[in-house]
Amino acid sequence: MNILLIEDDPCFGRLIKEWSERHGHTVTWIVGVKAVNGKAAVGMSPKGAYQNYTFAGKTTATWFWNPEDVTVDLSKFDLAFVDGQPEKGSLLGPEIVSLIGEIIHCMGVSSFASINDKMVSAGAIYVITKPDLLVVIVGEMPISKMDFTDPALQAEMAEFAKDHFRDGALLEKFEAALHA
């Protein structure tokens, strides 16, 4: 299956891409969609780098995007994972789903149920929260078996989990798998 991944979180994007590829799918990853014209979309490439960021005396490695515009032929994809709130400068998830949903089956992926509800109203065939999808990925393919050994990336993944998990037990399971 050819999958279009529209996700601006570097950790979550890498997780979905790796997980999907391990299941035999081909994944094209963009961090947002600026416009749709027929069966073509102007997407934003996932180019960026970790940079040290200091706030309140604490320095951490944080990902900063530096996306370039890319043209994506929507007709070559079978499914799109659509983030509810992609990179700044992008259309929002519900807008993306309403524009591409007749060309590609869309699955909404957001941390917020209200945004997922809007994506269903816009035509998404399925929605899932990011924490629920992370539990599926972690339960099926332990992160320790994945190639995420970079300490800066592990720190970013842990920060992502703290931001998105509202259930303490799920956060503990995720962190245990991350550091296994």
Whole-number Å distance between alpha carbons of 81 and 103: 13
CA dihedral 19, 77, 160, 171 (to 10 degrees): -50
Tokens of 41: 């979309």
Whole-number Å distance between alpha carbons of 83 and 176: 26
Q: Coil, strand or helix: which one is 109?
A: strand
Split at pLDDT 50, 70, 90, the class of 103 is very high
Mean pLDDT of the chain: 80
Range 2-141 classified under CATH 3.20.20.100: no
Domain ranges of the chain: 2-141
Split at pLDDT 50, 70, 90, the class of 143 is very low
Write down the pLDDT at residue 87.
81
Q: Coil, strand or helix: which one is 23?
A: coil
Contact 33, 41 (CB under 8 A): yes
